Structure 1
């Protein structure tokens, strides 16, 4: 799933790519979470001016897909926008386009055709991946080179508590890797 593209309704609204109550045209870019390299770009135009329904056009590599947008009422008034899954016709907040697919659809549509990368990793590989993810996030925020740091310094606008939590998680992954190394050394010495 992570290798594909993701459309998150709430993130698109928060980042002003689409705006409830109006028509908007803009572009988005997907990057690799670890190396921060650009994976894909798209042009998005969305009409959310009608309070009853809306639509979104997304164009990637010359291919265009139209996705209906549905406002759903909230308990305490107002409404929240959702994508209408093009395949299942159900309201969803997130649509996915896995590698090799030609269109976006909900996770329920893709069901067992796709999986998260972490489902195929052992504990050691998940620890390496977790450390790389934390390092990549801190380096992206702080404009550091990930190869220069085992654990990057705190970006000046990041809260200390957030940084401390990231460091604790990084250290936890380091502990898992150390235990894995000890088990490997025990197995190797048992073979000699």
Structure 2
């Protein structure tokens, strides 16, 4: 899934590519990958000036896709906009176009045809990824090599920090058990 292209409606609004209550003309959009750099470029336009309905258009190479947008009232006021999946006809905040696909659709449309990389990780890789995720959350702009487990950030609650610490220790134990079993296998040979 991660190697495909992703359209996140809320992120497009946050980054001011589109604006609820307004119609925008053509704007360039680029998808990048941390290792490969620029993956794809296209042009988007949208009309969200209506109260409950609008549209979103994406032109990307030979793809020219128009997607219906709808808004629903929020519980505490305001409205939340959604894509309408062109296949499943269901509301989605994110649409995906996996590698080789010809259009953007909801994750449910792709079903078992696609998967996230993490779904194929074994326990060891999940533990390494979990430790890295916790460290990145706690370290902010500190040097990651300087800390085995970083100090509590000023803004974080102690209960949250202690939960991260317990989870980090759990990942450490998993990795230690994996190393011990590997050493035992090597000694047995």
TM-score by length of 2: 0.75
Measured in 2, the distance between the counterparts of 1:129 and 1:38 equals: 25
Mark the CA change 1:69 to 1:127 in structure 2 (over 3 Å): closer, same or farther.
same
Q: Does 1:2 align with 2:2?
A: yes
Measure the CA separation in 1 of the matches of 2:19 and 2:5: 21
Which residue pairs with 2:175 in the alignment? 177
Q: TM-score, normalised by structure 1?
A: 0.74
Question: Which aligned pairs between 1:130-141 and structure 2 lie closer than 5 A?
Answer: 130-131=130-131
Q: Which blocks of at least 5 consecutive residues in structure 1 are unaligned?
A: none
Aligned residues of 1:36 and 1:136 also touching (Cα < 8 A) = no
Unaligned runs of 5+ in 2: none
> Which residue does the alignment assign to 2:127?
127
Match of 2:104 in 1: 104
Q: What residue is the counterpart of 1:18 in the other structure?
A: 18
- In structure 2, how many angstroms separate the alpha carbons of the residues matched to 1:92 and 1:121? 27
Q: Secondary structure at the match of 1:161?
A: coil
Aligned alpha-carbon RMSD (Å): 3.5
Q: 1:161 aligns with which of 156, 161, 172?
A: 156
How many residues are treated as equivalent by the alignment?
183
Question: For each residue in 1:90-124, what CA deviation from the matched residue of structure 2 results, as whole angstroms up to 9, or x when unmatched?
Answer: 11111111111121101111112112222221111
Superposed displacement of residue 17, structure 1: 1.5
Q: Is the 8 A contact 2:55 2:69 kept in 1?
A: yes
Give the 3 Å change call, closer, same or farther, for CA 128–10 of structure 1 in structure 2: same
Task: Look at both structures and tell me which one has the larger radius of gyration over its CA atoms.
Answer: 2
Matching residue of 1:187: 185
